[in-house]
Amino acid sequence: MTNEHPWWGNLGGPVQRGIVTYSTSPYEQRAFAGVWRHGIFNVYRRTAAQAPYVGIPIVIGFLIYHFEKKRHDFLNSKAVHNNEYERVKL
């Protein structure tokens, strides 16, 4: 079988042996550089920027839940059943 289309590692160049090179990326050397100085304020800034988009629907959902729970409790209470009984009785 002929090698008409060489692929990586078999490109037909001279074989190199015994050459090993290691290096670390600058991002890996100091992955947490400035976490305490900049990170906490950055988290606060990003959270404050997203608060209106997240907070308003949460407040609206809580208000709907709160008022509907109160209405549900009232409709299942004795007071509403007594009022219904008085209304039918008249």
Domain count, the chain: 1
Looking at the domain assignment, is residue 57 inside a domain? yes
The pLDDT value given to residue 4: 65
Residue range(s) defining the domain that contains residue 78: 31-89
Do 55 and 49 contact (CB within 8 A), yes or no? no
Q: Has this prediction a pTM greater than 0.95?
A: no
Q: Quick check: is 39 in a domain? A: yes
pLDDT of amino acid 53: 95
pLDDT at 39: 84
User: Which residue numbers in the chain have pLDDT < 70?
Assistant: 1-6, 9-10, 27, 84-90
What DSSP designation does 7 have? Answer: B
* DSSP output for 36-64: IIIIHHHHHHHHHHHHHHHHHHHHHHHHH
The DSSP-derived string for 8-32 is TTBSSS----S-------HHHHTTT
Q: Is residue 6 part of a domain?
A: no
Is 14 among the domain residues? no
